[in-house]
Amino acid sequence: MVVALLSFSLAADCIHADKPHYTISTDATYPPFDFQDKNNDYIGIDQDILKEIAKRENFTYTLKPMSFTSAAQLVANGQADGIIAGMAITDERKEVYDNSTPYYKTGVAWIVKKGSEIKSLKDLKGKTVALKTGTAASEYGKSLQKKYGFNIKYFNDTDTMYNDVVVGNSAATFEDMPVIQYAIKNGVKLKVMNANNPGNAGSYGFFVKKGANKELLASFNRGFASIKKDGTYDKIIKKYLGATQSTFTGSKKNNNSVLGILKANDGAFLKGLWLTIELTVLAIILASIWGVILGVMG
Ligand code: ASN
């Protein structure tokens, strides 16, 4: 009996030991990707994706929520195995990390307070812009600093950064389009200035330290392909956004009226109009010359 029990518990141990266990860091507050529910459990698009992939790929993990820079640092210096944190795939990051298949489209928004007098980036001259340390959106914001002459104030989390703009301490901020659109939908009093034209368009990925944790990365990619294929991924997106990816920048509804179509295609329309005018003038000149020649000959 004892022997039987012993061998059973040994077998159970073996099964458990077979399951890889990872440490995965995340951004503590980054809705709709990573945030806490009423019971302080971590939820969000990232968290649901990760949970589902772990189940299918048969691994377990300990989640480490913290500020985004610390979370990214933890993976870069090998203290965590992977990071999922609404983290954009960028060329600079490819130097430090290996990334998964892209799992969500993103791009950078520039944002002001509702009713703000700031109408263009030029109006930011001498003003303060709030950025979140270590993010792709902050790199983008920083790249515009010289040109537009604003000052930068750094924050460690998105909520405090938003708040600085809402109360009027900072004149603007830069954050990822899906993240700010979700916040606005949920009542944050901010306005996106480039809804149809996000900066540095790209995608989110899951990251491991470059050259390390190949097995975890492969598991993520395999698991992701599987949840994409059977519709689980779409269900997760719908759960948080009520829509699928294709409409995520759709703050503006499609306007199919004549005016709406003209507005949406104003660039092409003006170009076409200009070409028509040029051709008409040229035709009139050529016709006149031809007319004079014919007249003289007559
Ligand atoms: N979206 C940010 C980035 O890609 C990460 C974050 O703020 N959680 O840098």
Tell me the mean pLDDT in the region 238-256: 58
Q: How many CA atoms lie within 13 A of 221 on its CB side?
A: 13
Q: What is the rounded CA–CA span in Å between residue 24 and residue 85?
A: 10
Tell me the mean pLDDT in the region 288-298: 86
CA–centroid distance, 132 to ligand 1, in Å, is 8
Beta strands 199-209; 128-132: pairing state: unpaired
CA–centroid distance, 274 to ligand 1, in Å, is 43
The closest of 3, 31, 267 to 157, measured between CA atoms, is 31
Contact call for residues 92 and 46 (beta carbons, < 8 A): no
Give the pLDDT confidence of 160-212 residue by residue, as tens digits: 999 999 999 999 999 999 999 999 999 999 999 999 999 999 999 999 999 99
Q: What is the rounded CA–CA span in Å between residue 280 and residue 63?
A: 68
CA–centroid distance, 118 to ligand 1, in Å, is 25
Give the pLDDT confidence of 258-278 residue by residue, as tens digits: 655 555 445 555 667 788 888
Residue 253 pLDDT greater than 90, yes or no: no
Q: What is the rounded CA–CA span in Å between residue 30 and residue 120?
A: 27
Q: What are phi and psi of 130, to 5 degrees?
A: -90, 130
Q: What does the buried/exposed string (b/e) look like for 204-239 if buried means 16 or more CB atoms within 10 Å of the residue's CB?
A: bbbbbbeeebeebbebbbebbeebeeeebbeebbee
Q: Are the folds of 2-105+203-255 and 115-201 the same?
A: yes
> What's the chain's average pLDDT?
89
The closest of 199, 69, 63 to 144, measured between CA atoms, is 199
Residue nearest to atom 5 of ligand 1 (CA): 87
How sure is the predictor about 297, in pLDDT bands with cuts at 50, 70 and 90?
Answer: confident
Q: What is the rounded CA–CA span in Å between residue 123 and residue 32?
A: 30
Q: Which atom of ligand 1 is nearest to the CA of 158?
A: 7
Give the pLDDT confidence of 106-154 residue by residue, as tens digits: 999 999 999 999 999 999 999 999 999 999 999 999 999 999 999 999 9
Give the pLDDT confidence of 9-20 residue by residue, as tens digits: 444 444 456 899
CA–centroid distance, 152 to ligand 1, in Å, is 17
pLDDT for res 17: 61
Q: Which two tokens stand for residue 223?
A: 């698991």
How sure is the predictor about 24, in pLDDT bands with cuts at 50, 70 and 90?
Answer: very high
CA–centroid distance, 231 to ligand 1, in Å, is 26
Q: What is the rounded CA–CA span in Å between residue 55 and residue 139?
A: 35
User: Which long-range contacts does 118-121 make (Cβ < 8 Å, 24+ apart)?
Assistant: 118/171, 118/172, 118/193, 120/193, 121/147, 121/148
CA–centroid distance, 55 to ligand 1, in Å, is 25
pLDDT for res 70: 98
Q: What is the rounded CA–CA span in Å between residue 131 and residue 258?
A: 40
Query: Over pLDDT 70: what percentage of the chain?
Result: 84
C-alpha distances (whole Å) from 262 to each of 105, 166, 224 are: 27, 34, 40
Q: Which residues line ligand 1 (CB under 6 A)?
A: 27, 30, 68, 85-88, 132, 135-136, 176
Residue nearest to atom 9 of ligand 1 (CA): 135
Sign of CA dihedral 47, 140, 111, 270: negative
Q: Which of the listed residues 29, 35, 68, 73 should we mutate to test ligand 1's pocket, taking the one with most ligand atoms within 8 A of CB?
A: 68
How sure is the predictor about 34, in pLDDT bands with cuts at 50, 70 and 90?
Answer: very high
Q: Which atom of ligand 1 is nearest to the CA of 132?
A: 7
CATH (one of 3.40.1160.10, 3.40.50.300, 3.50.50.60, 3.40.190.10) for 115-201: 3.40.190.10
Q: Which atom of ligand 1 is nearest to the CA of 136?
A: 9
Domain 2-105+203-255 is in which class?
A: alpha beta
Spans of all domains in the chain: 2-105+203-255, 115-201, 265-298
Q: What is the rounded CA–CA span in Å between residue 108 and residue 141?
A: 9
CA–centroid distance, 254 to ligand 1, in Å, is 29
Q: Which of the listed residues 132, 133, 180 should we mutate to test ligand 1's pocket, taking the one with most ligand atoms within 8 A of CB?
A: 132
CA–centroid distance, 204 to ligand 1, in Å, is 9
Question: How many C-beta atoms lie closer than 10 Å to residue 6's C-beta?
Answer: 10
